[in-house]
Amino acid sequence: MASLTYYGHSAFCINTGGNKVLIDPFISGNPLTEVDPDSIECDAILLTHGHFDHLGDTIPIARRCAALVVTTNELAGYLDSQDVKNHPMHIGGYRQFDFGAVKLTPAFHGGGVEGADFACTPCGFLIYIDGKTVFHPGDTCLTVEFELIGRLNDIDLAMLPIGDNFTMGPGDALEAVRMLKPERVVPMHYNTWELIAQDADEFKKDVESQTGAKVTVVKPGGTVEI
C-alpha cells in the first residue's frame, strides 16, 4: 500500500514500495524538518513551481538519484540548463510514467526561480498512483477549477495549503474541500514561518464538522497510508 511522508511546508514523498516520488522537496533551510537531504532517495520529483521553498533541493537530489523531474515547460527548460533530467508538461496535460500518471492542474500564484531571468506558470498535480488519486494543488488561492477537478476525479487524498498570506487560508481551504470532495485531507504550507502560522487542529474540526472528508494532521517527518 502506498504511503505519504511529510517533510513540512509543501514537501512530501509518496512511496509505493516500488517507487518513491518527491513533491516540492524544500528540505535544506526548512525549519520544520531535520531530515538530511542527502539521505533522501527517489525515482521522480514533481515540481509545482520555482520559488525557493518548492524548488528547494530538487537539483542536487535529482542529480544524485538520477531522478526524473516532472514540471512545467518553462521550468523544465531551466532544469535543462542545470543538467537535470526532466519531462516538460503544461496545464491540462496528462502523462503516464513508470511510477504512475500525472495531470497538471491550474494554480494561481507566481513561479519564477530567484536569480533566473524568466517567469513560469505554477501548477498543481493530480497523481494517479498505486490505484489511488492524490491531489497536490501547489501554492494557490481558492479557484473555481476545484469544482471541475472534484467532479471528474474521485480524490482519495488532497494536500491543501492553509497558511494564508501567500496561498488560501483555512476558510478558503474548507471551501476547497467542499468543491473537491476528497476522502481525506492533509493540510500543508503552514507554520513554516510566523507569517503563515495556523491551527491545523481547528481546520480539522471545521472540515470534519461541515463536510464528509476526514483530515489527517501529519507532523513533519510523519508517514501515513494513502
CATH code, domain with 79: 3.60.15.10
135 versus 121: which is more confidently predicted? 135
Is the predicted pLDDT of residue 118 greater than 70, yes or no?
no
Mean pLDDT of the 47-61 span: 89
Range of the domain at 19: 3-225
Query: Quick one: how many helices (H) and strands (E) in the chain?
Result: 6, 14
pTM, 2 dp:
0.95
Q: In degrees rounded to 5, what are phi and psi of residue 46?
A: -100, 120
pLDDT of residue 51: 79
Count of structural domains, the chain: 1
141-148 long-range contacts, Cβ below 8 Å, gap at least 24? 141/108, 141/109, 141/167, 141/168, 141/172, 142/168, 142/172, 142/173, 142/175, 142/176, 143/106, 143/108, 144/179, 145/105, 145/106, 146/176, 146/179, 146/180, 147/179
Q: DSSP state, 17?
A: S
Q: What is the chain's mean pLDDT, rounded?
A: 94
Is the predicted pLDDT of residue 106 greater than 80, yes or no?
yes
Q: pLDDT, tens digit, for every residue of 150-197?
A: 999 999 999 999 999 999 999 999 999 999 999 999 999 999 999 999
Is the predicted pLDDT of residue 115 greater than 70, yes or no?
no
